[in-house]
Structure 1
Amino acid sequence: MVVSLASLYPVRRYAVRWGLLANPGGHSTHARATPLGGGIGIWLGIVVPMLLGTLWVMGLQRGLLPEVLPSWIRPHVEGVASRLGQLWGLLAAATVLFALGLWDDRRGAPVGVRLAVEFAVAAFVVYGLGFGLTAFIGQTWLTNLLSVVWIVAVINAFNMLDNMDGLSGGVAVIIAASMAAVMLTTSSPSSGQPQLFVSGLLLVVCGSVLGFLWHNRPPARIFMGDGGSYLVGFLIAVSMLMATFASQPRPHAVLAPLCAMAIPMYDMATVLWIRLREGRSLFSGDRSHFSHRLVELGLSRPQAVLTIYLVTGTCGLAALLLVHVSVLQATAVLGIVACMLLLVVILESTGWQKQDLD
């Protein structure tokens, strides 16, 4: 959080010189030109602590640093060291997407190129690093395919959600924190301990985005940009794949990521449906997002963002509860989430009917 917060002050100063600027107009709703380099601070807030931690672990292993860790942490040092290769493979893949987003922010990357890189990076993570969905399906080819689609879908869900001050970042913090809580209360099958590697990664993402939100709070001094939304969406998506539910006596726990991601997925699905229904390109920006529709119903922009925070937080709590209840109780939890989304649809349809009457 500190690295991200501090680094964004110089980024705000030099973003225009670097060509990272969002101008008002078009489908955008902001009223003044605003820097776009928020993703740079988020990337630094993730990579710098990970680099320092890696160097520290390597130093401890070689006896170059004094042993100052608390006794309860020391047994985990070897486990962390054994996964450093996976960690940096993952961060390298995240950096490729971050660079793609910066290119898109500066010059506008073609849609085909963006999707091709997203699918290629997702395939590398799934087939190369071995991070795949735990879905109790039993067909590896199918779970791997679903994993690739999941990663690309979550990347674009966060990208689409980045349309109001504090919205995408705040939702990312809520989802990352709720899934970190799920991992800290869910045992790993190999050790019987909390899933510290996944929860640690999610908490680092959470802290980095919190540092960015200091600059992105209304009125935003800097936007996340595609570089930030691609990076955050990718790491959250892969973290959910890295989570292990295979040892759980509750197979419905695998639905926890879907609960946590319910609102970004709802926003993406409804936006694509609206564009398809109106015969427009699925990839053209517009003001048909969930947040914009809430504003059309009479909410102010801050109220719309806070409403989405509240609904996302409720879904996050449902995800946390889901991994600790029986099948019958899980049905009730999923029913609550479904009813909440249905209520949102009903309220929105009322607004659409009024617009049609007008």
Structure 2
Amino acid sequence: MGDLSSWTGWLLAATIVPPLLISALSLYPVRKYAGRLGLMAKFGGHSTHTNVTPLGGGIGIWLGVMVTFALGTLAVWYLKGSSEWQERLPEAISIHFNGVWSRVADLWKLLAAGSVLVALGFTDDRRGVNEWLRLAVEFAVAAYVVYGLGLGFTAFIEVAWLTNLLSMIWIVGLINSFNMLDNMDGLSGGVAAIIAASMAMVMLTTPDPGSARPQLFVAGLLLVVLGSLLGFLFHNRPPAKIFMGDAGSYFVGFLIAVSMLMATYAGNVGERPHAVLAPLCVMAVPFYDMTTVIWIRIRERRSIFKGDRSHFSHRLVDLGLSRTQAVLTIYLVTGTCGLAAVLLTLVSVTQAIMVFGIVLCMLLLVIILESTGWQKDE
């Protein structure tokens, strides 16, 4: 595997800094011309903003990812054919060129599929899209990833049609969970950044069984997403100058979902089969928000597709927290779940039970605190 510190700095610099700068800089013109593009936020629904604000944050996130990978593809192509330049780089980096190059085609197929969702979200941000058409497109893209690209998880279930179906539901579920979480300044982008960072750490500390090396391809994808999100958060921090919009939340949710499907979570599955549950652990907060919001809407006999202020963040504000405090609280819970996900890939079954206990206690504490607000509403 090599010395972790010998290439981690190079990896972080190459995958986080470029998309951060591209995303942050590109959003200045997007903010300026958002009105002409019809990308202005509307009042009401599940949003709590009080000023007219652009919705084009997803454009910056998309550009950060696409331009970075375009430059990275060109760099790997050039360096792969140049032994002179390879000799100037640390061996811990150059030995990965062939492996990375072999997956470039799959990478661009994934980015193309994600771009379809960006186009869908862009249309939704501008003029709205019927919810059933939106779901149909999301499932079509998910089906392409699962059946066309052969990505999916088994979860030790030897039934192909069932695992394929679960994989598609996973992708669509994450797309919509991040979309629903996008209801306060810095919330969805910050939570997604924490999740991307946590899962990247999992990939860097969990070797691929076939090569016994860190999973640099998946880690790189997650770190580029992280960099783009950090660039966006520079503009989205309170008071937000621009919102992520559906284009951004669909794209981010899709890339995080697919990266988790591509990953291997246990170098030796026989020793740590529980490691495959790391994605569920790190996604605890978005899933909690989505599940409780759907339950509240069904209970109140309202459409599950219509935005409102019944989200986790809104409920925390109803308990007396400021919006900033609510967002930071959700960051803290997400960070705890992210650390637990990293631990899952490193510990034994007995220790994993204790890790799950910590996550469960965290969520139960949130539920107990929230129950005060629910009782007041009844």
Question: Which TM-score tier does this pair reach, normalised by the shorter chain?
Answer: over 0.9
Are 1:284 and 2:282 an aligned pair? Answer: no
Are 1:328 and 2:350 an aligned pair? Answer: yes
1:92 is displaced (CA, Å) by 0.4
1:64 is displaced (CA, Å) by 9.8
1:317 is displaced (CA, Å) by 0.4
Letter paired with 2:98: E
Are 1:37 and 2:56 an aligned pair? Answer: yes
Q: In structure 2, what is the equivalent of residue 245 of structure 1?
A: 265
1:87-145 Cα deviation digits (max 9, x unpaired):
00000001000110000000101111110010000111111111111411222222111
- Contact 2:46–2:183, Cα closer than 8 Å, also in 1: no
Q: In structure 2, what is the equivalent of residue 350 of structure 1?
A: 372
State how 1:64-143 maps to structure 2 within 5 Å. Answer: 66-67=85-86, 68-143=88-163
- Contact 2:57–2:242, Cα closer than 8 Å, also in 1: yes
Q: Distance in 1 between matches of 2:106 and 2:274?
A: 27
Secondary structure, aligned partner of 2:37: coil
- Contact 2:260–2:279, Cα closer than 8 Å, also in 1: yes
Q: Distance in 2 between matches of 1:284 and 1:26?
A: 8
Q: In structure 2, what is the equivalent of residue 58 of structure 1?
A: 77
- Contact 2:45–2:306, Cα closer than 8 Å, also in 1: no
- Contact 1:259–1:316, Cα closer than 8 Å, also in 2: yes
Aligned length: 356
- Contact 2:120–2:134, Cα closer than 8 Å, also in 1: yes
Q: Distance in 2 between matches of 1:114 and 1:65?
A: 50
Are 1:14 and 2:33 an aligned pair? Answer: yes
Secondary structure, aligned partner of 1:73: helix
Q: In structure 2, what is the equivalent of residue 304 of structure 1?
A: 326
Q: In structure 2, what is the equivalent of residue 164 of structure 1?
A: 184
**Which of these residues, 350, 353, 360, is aligned with residue 338 of structure 1?**
360
Letter paired with 2:351: Q
Q: In structure 1, what is the equivalent of residue 290 of structure 2?
A: 268
- Contact 1:3–1:44, Cα closer than 8 Å, also in 2: yes
Q: Percent identical across equivalent pairs?
A: 71
- Contact 2:56–2:242, Cα closer than 8 Å, also in 1: yes
Q: Distance in 2 between matches of 1:65 and 1:10?
A: 40
1:61 is displaced (CA, Å) by 3.2
State how 1:165-180 maps to structure 2 within 5 Å. Answer: 165-180=185-200
Q: Distance in 2 between matches of 1:207 and 1:14?
A: 24
Letter paired with 1:92: A
- Contact 1:21–1:36, Cα closer than 8 Å, also in 2: yes
1:238-258 Cα deviation digits (max 9, x unpaired):
101111136432100000000
- Contact 1:158–1:233, Cα closer than 8 Å, also in 2: yes
Secondary structure, aligned partner of 2:251: helix
Q: In structure 1, what is the equivalent of residue 3 of structure 2?
A: none
Letter paired with 2:339: L
1:338 is displaced (CA, Å) by 1.1
TM-score (norm 2): 0.92
Relative to structure 1, the CA distance from residue 64 to residue 223 in structure 2 (aligned partners, 3 Å threshold; closer, same or farther) is: farther
Letter paired with 2:365: L
Letter paired with 1:305: V
1:55-110 Cα deviation digits (max 9, x unpaired):
11222234498434322111100011100111000000010001100000001011
Relative to structure 1, the CA distance from residue 65 to residue 122 in structure 2 (aligned partners, 3 Å threshold; closer, same or farther) is: farther
1:222 is displaced (CA, Å) by 0.2
Q: What stretches of structure 1 move > 4 A for 4+ residues in a row?
A: none
Q: In structure 2, what is the equivalent of residue 47 of structure 1?
A: 66
TM-score (norm 1): 0.97
Are 1:233 and 2:244 an aligned pair? Answer: no
Q: Distance in 1 between matches of 2:140 and 2:230?
A: 29
1:26 is displaced (CA, Å) by 4.1
Q: Distance in 1 between matches of 2:35 and 2:83?
A: 43
State how 1:200-239 maps to structure 2 within 5 Å. Answer: 200-239=220-259
Q: Distance in 2 between matches of 1:26 and 1:96?
A: 25
